[in-house]
Structure 1
Amino acid sequence: MMKLLPIAILALAFAPHSGGVELRPVEIHDQLALQAEPGKKIALTLDACSGKFDSNMIDFLIKNRIPATIFATKKWLNRNPLGLSVIKAHLDLFDVENHGEKHIPAVIGAGKSVYGIPGEPDVVHLRREVIEGGKAVEKATGIAPHWYRSATAEYDAQAISEIDKLGYKIAGFSVNADDGATSKQRTIEKRLARVKAGDVIIAHMNKPASDSAKGLSVGLAYLLKAGFTFVRLDQVKLQESPAKAGRNLHRKS
């Protein structure tokens, strides 16, 4: 049975328009659901859209034993066999989830786009994006994914419903660390310094020429010293973060 969409998503997804009701994409903000065990738990999620493999970032995570959930597209998996081999050698740390086949935003309809990236022309194409992305992850790692994050991390109401029907949980976030790997190192450090227990961090591991690895290395080291514990999304549940509902914090990735 399809789950009911959160009230905040429904309120944002449908906006009045002179011609009737117009679907508007939303960015989903989540935090970790309340945990039975006490502790300062947070989740690091890394998008691998297309592009390359940021070995400096992954090497830092491995050295410091920091778990992360990686959202990889089929495009990235096919283009980065060396990076994939490193991740597969450390599946005790890394959980690989579904970021789609071709990195297409989850908005449906002719002419629709997010940050200039065209969306899906119809539901059939959306289903292919999700299904083929999932197959690629399972083929690459031997483990079927259960979480989905679309390109740009924005969705319209119809796409949310279809992704749910396909059996995926949509992975939102509460802290945008690197703005699609466009932020400077100091900005990333400042954002991570404000992380609180329960936060879900989004960053990117597909642009090694960016400041993402440098900023995250400093920021994550600080969080470790502050006593935070990192968890993967396959180990927890997420809940809507009402404090950030409706805020548009995610730039083109």
Structure 2
Amino acid sequence: MIFSTRQLSLFACTSLLFCHATTHAKPMEVHARLAPQARAENKVALTLDACSGRFDEDLLAFLIRKRIPATIFVTKKWLDKNPRGVTVIKSNLDLFAVEDHGEKHIPAIIGSGRTVYGLAGEPDIAHLQREVTEGAKAITSTIGIAPQWYRGASAKYDAEAITEINRLGYKIAGFSFNADHGATLRKKAIVDKFKRLQPGDVIIAHMNKPQSDSAQGLSSGLNDALKQGFVFVRLDQVEMQKMPDQKTKRDKS
């Protein structure tokens, strides 16, 4: 069968659109909880993202005062801009584990022009590799400990990025409890969310926006959790398990 030039052009365009649709699936969040423990304990894990921006000293001061462990995901950008925050973290490595949030806070999605929450993703695998490895190098040189976990900007990924991050030797840090929605919630909303905290939850929140309500809301919510008998752990102290359902009611709330 012989096709005209116009038919071939239409076929090529249709093929490209099909490939784009199939290779660029909607980015997903990775939801995970603590694996069941041998002993019945109300363990939960607090993870804090330090994307760029400033250092929420009030929040870390509260965690230190209450002796609440946390796993902190930092970018190279944040490390470079916040020497005071670095000093506080390094002085409390018995409480805080420091993990990789990337070099420049670029989402782990591959493809030119793709964005998540207004953040541009990576044009190709090579750029993703740099984002992950340069972020890790900055932590190793600044904190003195090599990271084992990775959380991408926006905490959304595509399948290709997840495969590459794992190939580089890093575990994806999922979560089950979104406490402050990118440091956008007001104090009361954060406190109300903590009323739904459950044993095994992995909390995601932020410590890079002191102008937000995150510090006050998290301090109040975490204090209530302590009173209820919750025990806080770092990710390096427990095993994790991926949740089969990528969407939960509590994440939408």
Q: Compute the TM-score of the two structures, normalised by the length of structure 1.
A: 0.89
Partner of 1:149: 151
Measured in 2, the distance between the counterparts of 1:246 and 1:111 equals: 26
Deviation at 1:30, TM superposition (A): 0.5
Partner of 2:52: 50
Question: For 1:61, which of 43, 60, 63 is the aligned residue?
Answer: 63
Relative distance call for 1:247 and 1:114 in structure 2 (3 A) is farther
SS in 2 for 1:90: coil
Q: Does 1:226 align with 2:218?
A: no
Partner of 1:211: 213
Return 5+ residue gaps in structure 2 as ranges.
1-15
Measured in 1, the distance between the counterparts of 2:85 and 2:235 equals: 21
Partner of 1:100: 102
Deviation at 1:238, TM superposition (A): 1.2
Partner of 2:161: 159
Partner of 1:235: 237
Measured in 1, the distance between the counterparts of 2:168 and 2:44 equals: 27
Partner of 2:133: 131
Measured in 2, the distance between the counterparts of 1:158 and 1:220 equals: 36
Residues 70-85 of structure 1 aligned to structure 2 (within 5 Å): 70-85=72-87
Deviation at 1:120, TM superposition (A): 0.3
Partner of 1:13: none
Q: Compute the TM-score of the two structures, normalised by the length of structure 2.
A: 0.89
Measured in 1, the distance between the counterparts of 2:138 and 2:17 equals: 42
- 1:137-163 deviation line (CA, Å, top 9, x unaligned): 111111100000000000000000000
Measured in 2, the distance between the counterparts of 1:198 and 1:109 equals: 35
Q: CA RMSD in A?
A: 1.5
SS in 2 for 1:109: coil
Partner of 2:18: 19
Q: Look up the equivalent residue of 1:181 and give its one-letter code.
A: A
Measured in 2, the distance between the counterparts of 1:133 and 1:247 equals: 30
Measured in 2, the distance between the counterparts of 1:46 and 1:209 equals: 16
Percent identity over the alignment? 60
Structure with the bigger percentage of helix = 2
Q: Which runs of 4+ in 1 moved over 4 A?
A: 247-250
Measured in 1, the distance between the counterparts of 2:117 and 2:223 equals: 32
Partner of 2:9: none
Partner of 2:12: none
Of the structure 1 ranges 92-101 and 34-43, higher mean CA displacement relative to structure 2 is found in 34-43
Partner of 2:115: 113
Partner of 2:186: 184
Q: Look up the equivalent residue of 2:143 and give its one-letter code.
A: T
Deviation at 1:18, TM superposition (A): 6.5
Question: For 1:38, which of 29, 37, 40 is the aligned residue?
Answer: 40
